Amino acid sequence: MKKIIFAVLFFLVFVSLAKADEFNPQEVGYLEADVNFYSFVETNEKLDELNYSLYIIPEDYSSLQIVSSTSPEYSIKKDDYGNNMLVFYWRDFTPQNYEVKMKIRNYAKFSAPQRTHFPYNPPKETWEYLSEGNHSVISDEIRNFAINLTKDSKDSFDAVTKISSWIYFNLKYDSNYSQMSLPSDWVFENRKGTCDEFTNLFISMSRSVGIPSRYVAGVVYSKGGWGYHAWAEVYLGEWVPVDPTWNEIGWIDATHIKLGNFMDGSDVRVSAEYLSTRKAIVRISQPSVIVKIDKTRKIEKKFTTTIDTYPHTIGKDDYSIVSVKIETKSQGCLATAIKIKPRVDESGNPIVSVYGNRLISICPGETKEYHFIVKSRENLNENYKYYNLADIYTFLGDENVIDLEIDPREKKDSFLDLDLDKQVVEIGDKINYFVSSDSEYKVYSDLPIGGNAIAADETGEHYIMAITKDGNLIKKNILVENTLNFKIKEIKKPKRVTCGEIFNVSFIIENLRENYFEINVNTSSELEKIHPIKERIEKEKKITLSTKVIENCTGDDQFLNINVNSQRIFEKIHVEKPKRKWSFIQDIIDFITGLFRIQLK
C-alpha cells in the first residue's frame, strides 16, 4: 500500500467561461447567483482511496450540492489562513467528472482606512505579510523603485494608491500569460502579464515600503463572462481591498467573489493524496466555473460631484476646461477613476476630445478638484451649434453632462502667454508664474495656487494652465522632485537557523545625499534585541546585524523590522523546528516515503 501526497499550483488567471447579460461590474453593489464548478479527475489505475482538496467555497454560500457518479464524502475545513477548503473523499476511485453547485450572496466591500502616517508602523501580527514569497519577490530594483515612488506620500493610503495606479497605468495586460503565474521581479522587468502578475508586483512593492499585503484568489465578471481572478489586500488598521488590474483601491465591487486570502500566490494549491497498491498517475484539471446571476443591486454612491466649465461657449478647434469637484460620503479613503464619454455627431465621430488625469483618491472630510481639457474638432459643420458634448461620471458617484456649447462660427482672436520662473523644482519650493493676455482668463493647476505662485507640495509630474474666455489655452508641465537620499541593496540572511543559533543579517547602504544614519531594529519575541547603530557613512558601507534565536524556541518563523532613517526593511527568518526525541526514526520513514513521490500531471 502506498500513500502519495502531492500538490500543484492552482493558477488564478482570468479566463472567460460563461456568457452573461452585459452590465458594468464596477456598478454592482450586491448580487445573488447560482455558482457551478465542474472538473474531471483522471487516473490510469483504480485507487483504493483518494482525498482531494481545493479552494472554491466563498465566504457566504448556501445549498451546497456535490454531483458525481460515485457521490464522494466531503467536508468544509479551515486552512491556516482561515479560508474554506472543500475536501473530497472517495473509496474505490475510478476516473470521473464532478460538479459543485451552490448559491452565493456577495456585497461590494468598502473598508474604512483613514489617513495614517507613512512610513507605516504595522502591528507585529502582520509582519509575516512584509517578507517576500515565491511569487512576491522583493529585489533591490523593486525595493528602491517603490521607495522612490512613495517617498513623499502624505500617508499610507496615498502610498498604496500610487503603487496600484502606477501598475494599472504602466503594465500591459497580456492574455498570452493567462496560464502562468510569473514572479514579481520578472513582471517589473517586462511590464506585462495578467491579474496574477499585476497582483504579485503590487504585493512586492507594497511590502517593500513596509505595508503588509496579501494575495486574494477569487472569481470575477469581465467582458461578458466569469473566470478566476487575483487581487490584493493591504493592512492599514484593517484589511483593505486593492485590485491593481481594475484600479479599485479601498473598495471592491460585488462581482469580485473571494475564495481565499494567502501570504503568496504560490500558496493557492490543489492538493491530493491517494492510497493504492500500484503506482498511479493522477490528473486533475482546474475546475471551470459558471455563474448565473439571479439578482443584483447597484452600488451605493459614495461621491458627490460638481461640474464647472470655462469658457462655456467655444468655436471649432478651441479649448475649454472642465473642473470636477468631488466630495465623499464614505467613512474611509477610496480611490477610483473618472470616466468621460464624448458625444458623437451624425457620422458617429466624437465632437470633442477630452484629456486629463482620471484617477481619484479621496478621504473623509476632503474635497478634491480635477481638471480636464476639452478640445473641439476642427472640421465641424458651421450650420449647426453643438450642446452637452460629453458625459462624465465616477464608478462610485453621480453621472453628469458637461455643459459646453460649440458654435463653429465663433472666432478665436485673443493673445495669451504663460511664463514660469522654473519648471523643475524640489519638494517644498514655490514657482512664480506670469500670465499675459488681452482677454479675460483663468488659471488652473493641480498644485495649490496662492497669488502668482504655485506651492510644490507633492512630487511627480504636475501642470499649470491658463485659458481665455474664447478658448485659447496654454498648458505647461512642472516636475517636482525629491531625490532619493540613499539606497539599500544586497540584503543577505541565512536560509534557515536553529534554536540557540547566532546569525547575521547584512545589507549595503549606498549614500546619495546625506552621511548620517540611525539604524533601529525591532525583533519578534524569540530573537535577542539588536542595539541601535548611529554613524556617518560617506559613500557606501556594509552593515551587519547580529542576533540569536533563544535556546528553547518553538520553531516558528521570526521577523526583523529594520528602520534605516526613513526606510524600513522587514525580513522573515526561517527557524527549524526543534527535533523530537527519536526523530531520526521519522526521518527514515520520511525518506522511504519520499522515494515513492510522483509528479502530478
Inter-residue contact 457 to 434 (CB < 8 Å): no
Model confidence over 436-446: pLDDT tens digits?
999 999 999 99
SS (H, E, C) 20-38: CCCCCHHHEEEEEEEEEEE
Q: Which class would CATH give 301-409? A: mainly beta
Q: 3-class DSSP state for residue 586?
A: helix
Q: Is pLDDT at 7 greater than 50 in this prediction?
A: no
Query: Which fold is adopted by the domain 486-573?
Result: Immunoglobulin-like (2.60.40)
Q: Is pLDDT at 333 greater than 50 in this prediction?
A: yes
- Please determine whether the domains at 2-12+30-107+268-296 and 109-151+171-258 fall in the same fold group of CATH: no
Considering only the C-alpha atoms of the chain, give the largest distance between any 2 of them, rounded to a whole number of Å.
Answer: 96
Average of per-residue pLDDT across 132-140: 93
Inter-residue contact 199 to 215 (CB < 8 Å): yes
Query: Which fold is adopted by the domain 109-151+171-258?
Result: C8orf32 fold (3.10.620)
Q: Is pLDDT at 548 greater than 70 in this prediction?
A: yes
Domain 412-483 has CATH 2.60.40.1930: yes
Q: Is pLDDT at 227 greater than 60 in this prediction?
A: yes
Average of per-residue pLDDT across 86-99: 90
- As a residue count, the chain comes to 601
Domain 2-12+30-107+268-296 has CATH 3.40.1440: no
Residue of 567 and 474 predicted with greater confidence: 474
Domain boundaries, the chain: 2-12+30-107+268-296, 109-151+171-258, 301-409, 412-483, 486-573
Residue of 262 and 19 predicted with greater confidence: 262
Q: Is pLDDT at 95 greater than 80 in this prediction?
A: yes
Give percent above pLDDT 90 in the chain: 55
Q: What is the pLDDT of residue 587?
A: 57
Residue of 368 and 4 predicted with greater confidence: 368
| Stated pTM of the model | 0.85
Location of C-alpha cell 464608478: 395
φ/ψ bin of 471: left (φ > 0), alpha (ψ from -120 to 50), beta (otherwise): left
With CA atoms as reference, report the closest residue to 304 among 334, 325, 282, 286: 325
User: In angstroms, rounded to a whole number, what is the distance separating the alpha carbons of residues 81 and 61?
Assistant: 19
Inter-residue contact 345 to 392 (CB < 8 Å): no
Model confidence over 473-523: pLDDT tens digits?
999 999 988 777 888 999 999 999 999 999 999 999 998 887 889 999 999
Q: Is pLDDT at 335 greater than 80 in this prediction?
A: yes
